[in-house]
Amino acid sequence: MIYMIAYDISSDRSRTKISNRLIKEGYERIQYSVYLGLNDPRMDICLWKYLNDNCNKESGGQMIILPLKRQHVRLMSVVGNHQYDIDYLLGEKRSLTF
């Protein structure tokens, strides 16, 4: 499974803290507030508590964790200038190619 994490948080500080932590944990940013990762954040007690604490501090903040099958990520369409290395996002190779 691949896990998509998306959040809507108005506090710059909380958003930055969550973003930095997700990147540190190996999630890849695919949009400003959308990340893909190989690990279920709910299974990492420390990470899950951190995300909850920083999302819940903000009134009206919310976060969605969506498990995706690999084949669904492969079907992802991207409109715009940025293209993603799907094999890298799926953990099937270790370095990006340009």
- Residue 39 in any domain: the answer is yes
Instruction: Say whether pLDDT at 18 is over 80.
Output: yes
The enclosing domain of 36 has a CATH number of 3.30.70.240
Q: How far is CA 27 from the centre of its chain?
A: 5
Contact 89, 2 (CB under 8 A): yes
| pTM for this predicted structure | 0.85
- Structural domain range at position 44: 2-76
- Residue 82 in any domain: the answer is no
* pLDDT tens column, 20-78: 999 999 999 999 999 999 999 999 999 999 998 888 766 568 999 999 999 998 888 88
- Residue 7 in any domain: the answer is yes
Residues β-bridged to residue 32: none
- Residue 98 in any domain: the answer is no
- Residue 94 in any domain: the answer is no
How confident is the model at residue 84, as a pLDDT? 82
Contact 64, 7 (CB under 8 A): yes
Please state the domain count of the chain: 1
Instruction: Say whether pLDDT at 87 is over 90.
Output: no
| Average pLDDT of the residues in 70-95 | 83
- The tokens for 1 are 């499974």
How confident is the model at residue 14, as a pLDDT? 86
Sign of CA dihedral 68, 71, 73, 78: negative
- Residue 81 in any domain: the answer is no
